[in-house]
Amino acid sequence: MTYKSYAKINLGLEVLYKRTDGYHEINTLFHQICLADIIDIEPHNSIKINCIPDLGIQQEQNLAFKACKLLQNNYDCKLKGAEIKIKKNIPTGAGLGGGSSNASTVLKGLNSMWNLNLSDTTLLDLAKELGSDVPFFIKGGTAIGKGRGEVLEFVDFKLPYHILLIFPEVKISTKVAYEKLNRSSEISSGSDFKKILDDIADSNKINTVLKNDFEETVFASHPNLKNLKEKILLNGALYSQMSGSGSTIFGLFNDIKILQKFESVLANYHTHVCIENTNL
């Protein structure tokens, strides 16, 4: 079977405080986008993961492999296997959740192929064991994420803009990005993203209601990313932001011709366009 494993952007991302368990409490707005890896899953006598291009890691380190082992160990599937081929279109280390999406897609694919008949609720619980972003991709769409990102409230929301993704040749360590924020343990609640969904759809308000807390420290270390964001805004974007802990920078446009004109001069970058609303 062949599946699309979609990426995400964080339309907003607030890192609120450091928890007693060592993790950080976040408040974010996940939004699934059209950029996707392609995953083929076929029966096999063992677990075999093949990524194109190769990620340069042992397959045991791949979240897709860990998803397979999680199902094997929890549902008496040790005699079942799978050959999984992943055509990578989502850049790694780019803040787009590619690895997490792959893990989620494999959970859903094997659930079907191995006839486990697990509910979405059960899959969500399993996904939490694999990583903070993995649960979101079980359902996709748009969701408010709290906790480490795994406490989800899915919302009915259509982004009324086209998205230009720009991938600088920079990889940001999420661990280091959190450390540099140096958050205290003082509890705070963050923005109410559910209440501001209408403001996101208002081109006159979007700049006042969204932010990414990681930009402060990441831009200090990588001023070229800040310059890229400013360039996007100067070339017709209604809003621009870094996704996750970086390094992807996205711009939101309501005019596809302006977006395409700007993209045409970005020869030094890898870019991708997501057409969100054909009625724009």
Annotate 235-248 with b (16+ C-beta within 10 A) or e (fewer).
bbbbbbbbbbbbbb
Annotate 21-41 with b (16+ C-beta within 10 A) or e (fewer).
eeebbbbbbbbbbebbbebeb
Q: How far is CA 103 from the centre of its chain?
A: 12
Cβ proximity of 251 and 233 under 8 Å: yes
DSSP 269: S
Residues assigned a catalytic role: 8, 133
Position 112: which residue type? S
